[in-house]
Amino acid sequence: MSIVFIPRIAEKFESSYNFGSGKLSPKVKVVPREQLLWPDSDLDILIELRVLRVSFAECGKVLKRSANSCTMAVATNNLYEAINKKRKKVIAGVLENAKFTKTDESS
């Protein structure tokens, strides 16, 4: 009797043998999915809608895409900065118009 343990599992099982289940796990074939690229015009519309704080679900309905697709378009194209800049411009424009309106009313 030997003190050293020698495993008796065949070499062909080493890469695909799952010790947790005790069964061979089937190899999963990954098929690439079709990707629909966003044209610049759709990205501009998405930016304008997000500036107005339209939800991603509503943006998806307008653009005929899913809400997740709109979310990922903003994330992958890094549109957060563009949306925030335009949002600040819109807010500044509204405040500027409000100042002119107040001065016109007081005259």
3-state secondary structure of 69: helix
How many structural domains are present in the chain? 1
Domain coverage including residue 83: 38-106
**71: in domain:** yes
Q: What is the pTM of this model?
A: 0.63
What is the sign of the dihedral through the CA atoms of 8, 9, 10 and 14? negative
- Report the mean per-residue pLDDT for the chain: 84
11 within some domain: no
Q: Specify if 14 maps to a domain.
A: no
Query: Does residue 12 belong to any structural domain of this protein?
Result: no
pLDDT tens, residue by residue, 29-57: 889 888 888 999 999 999 999 999 999 99
Query: 80: which 2 tokens?
Result: 């957060």
Do the domain assignments include residue 70?
yes
